[in-house]
């Protein structure tokens, strides 16, 4: 009798568990929204925000608050100018300037708005470089009209970083960042006696991102399908080499437009174009391809110097690196450091380009060009490389 009772209890409990699991399986799960449909909603939200909000910019060169911004809804149209009106400043010397660019992603074309407060005076990052930047982020939400209030766009703050200590790799953040930061430049940095650094003339702006260029289905404290607003200051950049082949991403941008992409993700690029930054056409862009020219020799091997041409050899300075730099460069000795000869860090040869083969004393060798501007460097010249780099001889 007891055994039967226990068996009955277990049977009921098991049935309950199965019933619960079936109910769980039948719960409605919202499918991911169509990118085009969601973008139309986001675009309306962003443009509504730009037309109903104004910005106040702090100008205080050399101080932390320089280029701080406050964005708020317009209360007095006579004194508060909508952000959208700054489109009229584009092409002039007047700032702010509201610019936009088209981004082809997810099979649609996004229009990305960004407000230039100051362009900066230094260098621009690639879309795959590292950036040292402060920022403040908020997301936008549409609030429906009620009997008492009209419809409006609300802003919710979610994150701020005022004192960045390390760089952000632009390949590891939302797409809107990697599309916007290359439109700005760094400024200058100077060290202070207390160990801090003062940044001046840096690029600063505000980006307005549709959710498809942000987190889309949400992330942590950010709800799904929310456009994002980031104000930012670009202090410094770090040139990166993602495939560790000895060639910076900057120098693997073959068409020189400042952007390199991997088009193999069919969700991001359902209609992928021919990649202009893929030397061997294997579908892998050079910046993540360890064999750029597809000749079965890694790029790092191809740019390796002969062992006899590293450092100072027989009174000749070949440069301290084991690898040829993208281009030769010369450093001048600094008289302020009498115990260090900076000129020894010069690299007199850049990555070689094949010129011809020649026979010297019965030995056939390759002749390379290390300096001519526009030469077809080894890792960019698929046709020529039939021997390892250790056979190279200097061009006469």
Average pLDDT, the chain: 89
What pLDDT, on a 0 to 100 scale, did the predictor assign at position 252? 94
Comparing 146 with 2, the larger pLDDT belongs to: 146
Q: What is the pLDDT of residues 207-235, one digit of tens each?
A: 999 999 999 998 889 999 999 999 999 99
d(CA 118, CA 233): 9
**Tokens in use for 102?**
């088209």
Please report which confidence band the pLDDT of residue 67 belongs to, taking 50, 70 and 90 as the band edges: very high
What pLDDT, on a 0 to 100 scale, did the predictor assign at position 28? 58
Phi, psi for 79 (deg, rounded to 5)? -120, -15
d(CA 125, CA 240): 10
How far is C-alpha 119 from the chain's CA centre? 17
Helix (H) or strand (E) holding 97: strand 97-105
Look up the pTM and report it. 0.83
In the chain, list all ranges with CATH 3.10.50.40: 35-240
Q: Per mean pLDDT, which range of 196-210, 249-263, 313-327, 381-395 is the poorest?
A: 381-395
CATH code of the domain occupying 35-240: 3.10.50.40
- Output the furthest CA–CA distance in the chain (Å, rounded): 105
DSSP assignments along 27-69, one per residue: S--PPPPPHHHHHHHHHHHHHHHHHHEEEEE---TTSTTTT-E
d(CA 228, CA 153): 12
For residues 228-246, give the mean pLDDT: 97
Please report which confidence band the pLDDT of residue 13 belongs to, taking 50, 70 and 90 as the band edges: very low
d(CA 362, CA 148): 95
Beta-carbon neighbour count of residue 43 at 10 Å? 16
How far is C-alpha 174 from the chain's CA centre? 9
Please report which confidence band the pLDDT of residue 376 belongs to, taking 50, 70 and 90 as the band edges: confident
What pLDDT, on a 0 to 100 scale, did the predictor assign at position 5? 45
Beta-sheet strand order (sheet of 392-394): 353-360, 363-369, 392-394
Beta-carbon neighbour count of residue 6 at 10 Å? 10
Q: What is the dihedral of CA 244, 247, 248, 253, to 10 degrees?
A: -120
62 phi-psi bin (left φ>0, alpha ψ -120 to 50, beta other): left
For residues 49-69, give the mean pLDDT: 96
Q: What is the pLDDT of residues 17-35, one digit of tens each?
A: 444 444 455 555 678 999 9
Comparing 79 with 29, the larger pLDDT belongs to: 79
User: CB of 100 within 8 A of CB of 112?
Assistant: yes
Q: What is the pLDDT of residues 91-141, one digit of tens each?
A: 999 999 999 999 999 999 999 999 999 999 999 999 999 999 999 999 999
Q: How many residues does the chain have?
A: 396
Indicate if the pLDDT at residue 386 is higher than 60.
no
d(CA 380, CA 153): 50
Please report which confidence band the pLDDT of residue 384 belongs to, taking 50, 70 and 90 as the band edges: very low
């Amino acid at each position: 009798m007891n055994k039967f009772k226990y068996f009955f209890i277990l049977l009921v409990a098991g049935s309950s568990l199965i019933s619960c699991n079936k109910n769980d399986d039948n719960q409605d799960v919202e499918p991911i929204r169509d990118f085009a449909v969601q973008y139309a909603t986001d675009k309306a939200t962003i443009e509504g925000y730009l037309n109903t909000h104004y910005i106040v910019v702090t100008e205080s060169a050399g101080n932390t608050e320089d280029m701080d911004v406050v964005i708020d809804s317009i209360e007095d149209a006579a004194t508060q100018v909508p952000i959208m009106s700054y489109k009229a400043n584009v092409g002039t010397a007047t700032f702010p300037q509201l610019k936009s660019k088209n981004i082809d992603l997810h099979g649609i074309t996004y229009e990305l708005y960004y407000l230039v407060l100051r362009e900066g005076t230094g260098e621009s990052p690639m879309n795959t470089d590292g950036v040292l930047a402060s920022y403040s982020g908020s997301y936008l939400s549409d609030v429906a009209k009620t009997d008492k209030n009209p419809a409006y766009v609300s802003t919710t703050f979610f994150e701020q970083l005022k004192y960045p200590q390390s760089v952000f790799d632009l390949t590891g953040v939302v797409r809107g960042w990697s599309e916007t930061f290359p439109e700005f430049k760094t400024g200058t940095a100077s060290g202070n006696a207390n160990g801090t650094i003062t940044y001046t003339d840096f690029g600063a702006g505000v980006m307005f991102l549709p959710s498809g260029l942000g987190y889309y289905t949400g992330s942590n404290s950010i709800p799904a399908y929310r456009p994002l607003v980031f104000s930012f200051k670009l202090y410094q950049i770090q040139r990166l080499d993602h495939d560790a082949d000895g060639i910076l991403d900057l120098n693997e941008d073959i068409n020189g437009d400042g952007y390199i992409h991997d088009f193999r993700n069919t969700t991001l690029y359902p209609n992928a174009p021919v990649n202009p930054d893929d030397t061997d056409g294997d579908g892998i862009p050079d910046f993540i391809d360890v064999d750029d020219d597809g000749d079965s020799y890694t790029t790092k091997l191809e740019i390796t110097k002969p062992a006899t041409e590293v450092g100072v050899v027989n009174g000749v300075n070949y440069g301290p690196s084991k690898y040829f730099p993208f281009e030769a460069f010369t450093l001048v000795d600094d008289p302020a450091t009498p115990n260090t000869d900076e000129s020894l860090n010069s690299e007199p040869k850049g990555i070689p380009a094949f010129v011809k083969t020649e026979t010297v004393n019965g030995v056939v060798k390759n002749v390379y060009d290390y300096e001519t501007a526009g030469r077809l460097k080894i890792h960019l010249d698929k046709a020529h490389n039939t021997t390892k780099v250790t056979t190279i001889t200097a061009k006469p």
